[in-house]
Chains A and B, each alone.
Chain A
């Protein structure tokens, strides 16, 4: 099974009954799999912060809970994470966060382990699907044993890799206690928070002590010349590429680190290589303890993914095999908007109009590429509106600003609405264009608060753009909903809304082609056997 299926299975086997998250590659399939288990509640929350908060509440009320997101989602959820470390949990709270080294489908390459260190919570890092499943059970145990949220780190090669895993019978979920009042523990006014911080530090020390002997960390001692300290997928690269004579300390728990165990390992070895993708999180801590016989980022890259051959080269000096040379030049094949995609016409028009386009995160970010060349910024979820506002503030001092914010429906619900309220409140004159294709397309067609269905396909409220526009004081006529395919109308509506020099919300509404195909397929199946 895939790492993500294994995470979901692990949560089910651990008796978790609540799963919340926001879609994000490579984490999305965790909840999509978890939702199919019996007796569980799942939701796509509107963003990761909200998901984390729902998760905190569910755990406090006594249900084992998973919260899922991608690495950049943890930025959004960082605020509740840090203080949830203070209040602790009741039933276990496990946050699964998936990193994306090499940015296969992300806007940055950040390393989530920093959050575990900064928030002072434990983090586990499995190296294959079997461990992904087992570590979730262990994470729930630790969460309840130490009264703390626990982070579990996935990465693309684990989450979207498949390996063999053996299923176990699920534990019977404990009947939730319900929320039991305890203001000194759960209400973080300074006087209570000070007392809780003391406990956070004590807990971290206790966790580090636990890490010294827990089975999550294990040694494979084969000689005393070359030692490897590693974790996660890098462990597999080490096992694949290095001779069985090297000694390995595999860390299943990457925060807090077992200082005594690591120190003893390094003392035994002549030279120790720290094999960790992305940032030197483990290395810096080891070096800070005054251990000097280590090799880390002085030899290994800080960028991108590792591979067996790269690990071998860095440890043994044996060069990676040369890339096969061919005499034909193969042109790149970057991803692109699908044929017939409703976003295409919007970017064609924006390109024609020569506007500054403050973009956002989604399939439509591909509007930056030829032939459209119609996106000028893309930072993080929901940024389009705030960034456009900043540009507009400065530009409109001495000329008419030609900036528009462009974002998708799911992104608008995630954090674009906050930007809209801010622009309205501060009397800015922006044109916000929501590309509403009825789904969260890039992560694989998840419903969202504008599509009118929940994770399980049941119907729910769809936010009413006109009512929302009215609520934030956008003038009558400055909220418009148009189809994507009539480019002439699209162009004239954009021009006329810009000409109002007032805040305006334009919704370009036509369904995603992939969603359309999926619906058509389902219809075929439903219609099969009917005589028309």
Chain B
């Protein structure tokens, strides 16, 4: 077990079914485990994955009990879609750091995408990082590695996870042929 004593860190992923939030949250849990922490996560499969709102909870620390983040205690919210950043408000607080991707998917049967989300986020939360997916994709070369690049963005906010653990977790979970590209994307994400 690790020698670092940290409080349990809670990361809430939010997005639209099919965006790949499960890979991202798997990588963090594994990286935390490789760093000697206890880690748990919880997610939903099945019907909600069909283009609906999806979430994944990741928690790590010296000892983690609930796989679900207690209400109001998310330390970091990662939203892969813009309005999904405001979907799971029971888990966040003004102290939550928000990383969201400026990417919009209009829900079925809704005509107008809600405006003013960035301003709202900045008014409610102490720290907000908006990721421009086009810009980031240009830097990393391929949209496929975007989720791993976003992990790079939040890596700097996470305590106790070593860079070796990140590397091992990424290579363990991404397709073999994309190891190098994903690791490069992760490093680029860290610079943001």
Residues in chain A within 8 A of chain B (CB atoms): 25-26, 28, 104-105, 128, 156-158, 160-164, 233, 236-237, 239-241, 305, 307-310, 320-321, 323-338, 363, 365-366, 369-371, 442-444
The answer to whether A363 and B65 touch (CB under 8 A), given A323-B89, A328-B117, is no
Interface centre among B41, B43, B53, B71 (most CB of A within 10 A): B71
Whether B50 and A366, one on each chain, are in contact in the complex, defined by CB atoms closer than 8 angstroms, is yes
- Which residue of B is nearest A365, CB measured? B47
Option from A160, A241, A337 in Cβ contact (under 8 Å) with B70: A241
Option from A128, A161, A162, A331 in Cβ contact (under 8 Å) with B107: A331
The SS class assigned to the A binding surface is loop
Whether B50 and A333, one on each chain, are in contact in the complex, defined by CB atoms closer than 8 angstroms, is no
Bound-complex Cα distance A128 to B40 (A): 9
Bound-complex Cα distance A444 to B50 (A): 11
The answer to whether A370 and B46 touch (CB under 8 A), given A128-B40, A324-B89, A326-B89, is no
- Which residue of A is nearest B43, CB measured? A160
Bound-complex Cα distance A326 to B87 (A): 10
Option from A157, A326, A336, A370 in Cβ contact (under 8 Å) with B50: A336
Whether A336 and B108, one on each chain, are in contact in the complex, defined by CB atoms closer than 8 angstroms, is yes
The answer to whether A160 and B44 touch (CB under 8 A), given A307-B70, A330-B86, A335-B52, is yes
- Which residue of A is nearest B50, CB measured? A335
The SS class assigned to the B binding surface is loop
Whether A326 and B107, one on each chain, are in contact in the complex, defined by CB atoms closer than 8 angstroms, is no
Bound-complex Cα distance A237 to B70 (A): 9
- Which residue of A is nearest B18, CB measured? A338
Which residues of B sit under 8 angstroms from A444, Cβ to Cβ? 45
Option from A28, A128, A310, A363 in Cβ contact (under 8 Å) with B47: A363
Option from B43, B71, B87 in Cβ contact (under 8 Å) with A330: B87
Chain B contact-residue range equals 35 or more
Whether B86 and A164, one on each chain, are in contact in the complex, defined by CB atoms closer than 8 angstroms, is no
Is the CB of B64 closer than 8 A to any CB of chain A?
A: yes
Whether B89 and A25, one on each chain, are in contact in the complex, defined by CB atoms closer than 8 angstroms, is no
Is the CB of B29 closer than 8 A to any CB of chain A?
A: yes
Which residues of B sit under 8 angstroms from A26, Cβ to Cβ? 45-46
- Which residue of B is nearest A320, CB measured? B71
Bound-complex Cα distance A336 to B71 (A): 28
Option from B50, B65, B109, B114 in Cβ contact (under 8 Å) with A328: B114
Which residues of B sit under 8 angstroms from A337, Cβ to Cβ? 50
Instruction: With both chains docked as a complex, state the minimum distance between the C-beta of B70 and any C-beta of chain A, in angstroms.
Output: 4
Whether A162 and B50, one on each chain, are in contact in the complex, defined by CB atoms closer than 8 angstroms, is no
Whether A307 and B68, one on each chain, are in contact in the complex, defined by CB atoms closer than 8 angstroms, is yes
Which residues of A sit under 8 angstroms from B84, Cβ to Cβ? 333
Q: Which 3 A-B pairs have the closest CB atoms?
A: A105-B46, A321-B72, A25-B46
**Given contact pairs A163-B41, A240-B70, A307-B70, a sample of 4 additional A-B residue pairs in the complex whose CB atoms are under 8 Å apart:** A160-B45, A309-B70, A331-B110, A336-B52
Which residues of B sit under 8 angstroms from A338, Cβ to Cβ? 50-51
Bound-complex Cα distance A335 to B50 (A): 5
Whether B46 and A442, one on each chain, are in contact in the complex, defined by CB atoms closer than 8 angstroms, is yes
Whether A327 and B120, one on each chain, are in contact in the complex, defined by CB atoms closer than 8 angstroms, is yes
- Which residue of A is nearest B52, CB measured? A335
- Which residue of B is nearest A332, CB measured? B107
